[in-house]
Structure 1
Amino acid sequence: MTSLTTHFTLEELTISQTATRRGIDNTPSPAAVDNLKKVAALLEQVRTLLGTKPVLVSSGYRSPGVNAAVGGASNSRHLLGLAADFTCPSFGSPKAICKEIAESELAFDQLIFEGAWVHIGLPPDNTPSRRQILTAHFQNGMASYMEGIA
């Protein structure tokens, strides 16, 4: 296992059931690994904010093939290793997690309440964090977004 931080590994932030099932390479570039270190550091801050409860990552880095296979946006920060989807069941619901993060001082670019999970992303280098907070709504396989946590 390759540790990125105390509680997060490279393997945890790159594992993909879709990649395994479909035989898609999900190996990140060195630049994406550097970005994943930043995401892992942010997830450590989230973990602390949530009372040091385990944060379970369901998606981190996605290669272009994996991103296409899961229907990810073509400009997804997952492609750069700058985003993670996660839950923290021992803290509470994804909505409760989003509210806690939104009320914190954590620096993030985007926080999305996705219903069953939380998406958090960082900006590319030299770009300020927007602290954009959204709720995703899914209909007919398409996502639309509204400002705030709903």
Structure 2
Amino acid sequence: MYKSNQFNPMLSEHLDLFTLCQSETAEKLGIHNMPQDADVIENLRQLCLNVLNPAIVHFDLPLFVTSGYRCPQLNTEVGGLANSQHLLGQAADIMMGGIRNDQLAKWIIDNTDFDEVILEKFDPDSGEYGWVHASYNTNNNRNRVTTFDGTTFHEGFHYFDLSKTN
């Protein structure tokens, strides 16, 4: 955990702004991926307080953010959807050391008020562990659960044999 300062404020007990904005792709391409809009920072704070931090506290394990906030240029570079919640600071793609992504997704679904949880590219039988996309919307959480097999989004929580879909 970083020490909070004016340039890197803590968003919750365990998560700071840099953690939710860091990106290997942005770094490699020289993209400045820090939000300039106070609303985006507040959205990130609410995501941390309501979804991410509760998971950290419950499991007492490190949370890895593989993609949090994305500025428009970064979102384009990584192939994000034009209406991605990452652009608004409402979403993060996460993994947690020590548990499977399906367990993390299920816990978030059962224990938090979330907007959307997507279990993405998860198939332990083929060695694909993917990630969990978790979002929070202060205006209207839909509690939508989706599974992504790498090609298609499916409503609900499903398991797939990804070796047959790719």
Return the TM-score normalized by structure 1.
Answer: 0.88
- Cα separation, 1, equivalents of 2:102 and 2:72: 29
Aligned residues, how many?
A: 141
Which runs of 5 or more residues in structure 1 are unaligned?
none
Structure 2 partner of 1:47: 56
Percent identity among equivalent residues? 34
| Alpha-carbon distance in structure 1 between the residues aligned to 2:56 and 2:156 | 22
1:36 and 2:44 are equivalent in the alignment: yes
- Alpha-carbon distance in 2 for matches of 1:126, 1:112: 20
Greater helix fraction, Structure 1 or Structure 2: 2
2:139 aligns with one of 120, 123, 126:
126
Instruction: Report the counterpart of residue 63 of structure 1 in structure 2.
Output: 71
Are 1:109 and 2:108 matched, yes or no? no
Native 8 Å contact 2:120 2:147 kept in 1: yes
Amino acid at match of 1:47: I
Contact 1:98–1:149 (CA under 8 A) maintained in structure 2: no
Instruction: Give ranges in structure 2 of 5+ residues lacking alignment.
Output: 1-7, 122-129, 159-166
Residues 14-73 of structure 1, C-alpha deviations (whole Å, 9 max, x = no match) = 011111111112120221111111111121112233x22221111110000000000001
Q: Deviations over 1:103-131 (max 9, x none)?
A: x23100100001211000112x432x111
For 1:149, the aligned partner's letter is F
**CA RMSD of the aligned region, Å?**
1.3
CA contact (8 A) 1:27 1:63 kept: yes
1:8 paired residue among 15, 37, 45: 15
CA contact (8 A) 1:109 1:130 kept: yes
Equivalent of residue 145 in structure 1, options 146, 153, 165: 153
Does 2:86 match 1:74? no
Letter in 1 for 2:57: T
Does the 8 Å contact 2:145/2:157 carry over to 1? yes
Instruction: Name which of 102, 110, 126 aligns with 1:95.
Output: 102
